[in-house]
Amino acid sequence: MKNIILDCDPGHEDFFGLMLALTSTEINIQAISTTVAYQTPENVQKNAMKALELLGRTDIPVARGAAKPLIEPFGLADNWRDFTGLDGANFPIPSFAPSQLSGIDLMAKTLSESAEPMTIAISGPVTNVALLVAAHPELHAKIEQIVLMGGAINTGNRYPGVEYNFSIDPEAAKILLNSGLPIVMATRDMTEQGIITEATVAKMRAIDNPVAQVAADLMENYGDFSDPDTPVVLNDPEVIAYLIDPMMFTGTDYYVDVETQGQLTRGRLVVDQNDMTGNLPNAKLLTSLDNDRFVALILDSLATY
């Protein structure tokens, strides 16, 4: 079993990633740090704790990470008070206290106490892990790999060509990609292939346990299944799915960097697909997945409860 640290911004998608991790015999979450993207730091941390309470893993420490990006602040969505990120389902009130450490300190402590190198999985903006990597070079040897959801080769979902997580903190993404650490990226091009259909939600609903019912409630709130031309996709659980079943994915090693200065392209992932720079690859970009296996993994994991 591979011990991991999860850095996340829990909302609907992250719930499924947590659920996959906690039911897997391949990986074991040792610590969780939360990062801010669409909600307040307090609410994002509370979302992680509410999910752990439902999933029966209140033993995992949850620490609050950075409250803002490294350089440029960003504003919460105008309607942030109208949603929590886990809307549509009832979650229990957490019965445990959050970690008193900061997210960066909890990650550093977990790494330093580990006998073996660990994987860091990131399913939100990468600010916390960039700060960890910059502040603790002595711990780089304790990081086996970083698997993150971020960046895009040919698509974007915040600005043209710019993926959301990288758009929040381009400088942090640049630090990670130039850290020399092994990086695996679940690109937006790939995660948009993680399609959940109305029939899949019906299969969730048919699983007779409370966790599956919450999953179905979340999906019915999260996606509009009435428009067949706009598929409902889950973008974050692929990070955990890759750690459980890497053969589900295909990918290619590339040299990549992040644009931080461009007026129209700040946060854009730059991918040297044709070896124009002469630089050696510094990341594996996951570009496709077997969606049938992805959906089956989700349904099988829900059934374990």
In this predicted model, what pLDDT tens digit does every residue of 92-110 receive, in sequence order?
999 999 999 999 999 999 9
- What is d(CA 303, CA 216) in angstroms, rounded to the nearest whole number? 13
Nearest-5° Cα angle at 291, 177 to 195: 85
**DSSP at 159:** B
pLDDT at 229 over 80: yes
From the list 245, 23, 29, 261, the residue with the least C-alpha distance to 123 is: 29
SS3 194: coil
From the list 106, 88, 37, the residue with the least C-alpha distance to 67 is: 37
Domain of residue 298, CATH code: 3.90.245.10
Per-residue pLDDT, 189: 94
Domain that holds residue 213: 2-303
Tokens of 189: 């091009």
How much is the average pLDDT of 117-122? 98
**DSSP at 258:** E
pLDDT at 81 over 70: no
- What is d(CA 261, CA 76) in angstroms, rounded to the nearest whole number? 22
- What is d(CA 38, CA 33) in angstroms, rounded to the nearest whole number? 16
pLDDT band at 14 (very low <50, low <70, confident <90, very high): very high
pLDDT band at 227 (very low <50, low <70, confident <90, very high): confident
Q: What is the pTM of this model?
A: 0.96
Per-residue pLDDT, 80: 61
Per-residue pLDDT, 210: 97
How much is the average pLDDT of 171-193? 97
Residue 142 φ/ψ, nearest 5 degrees: -90, 0
pLDDT band at 163 (very low <50, low <70, confident <90, very high): very high
> What is the count of structural domains for the chain?
1
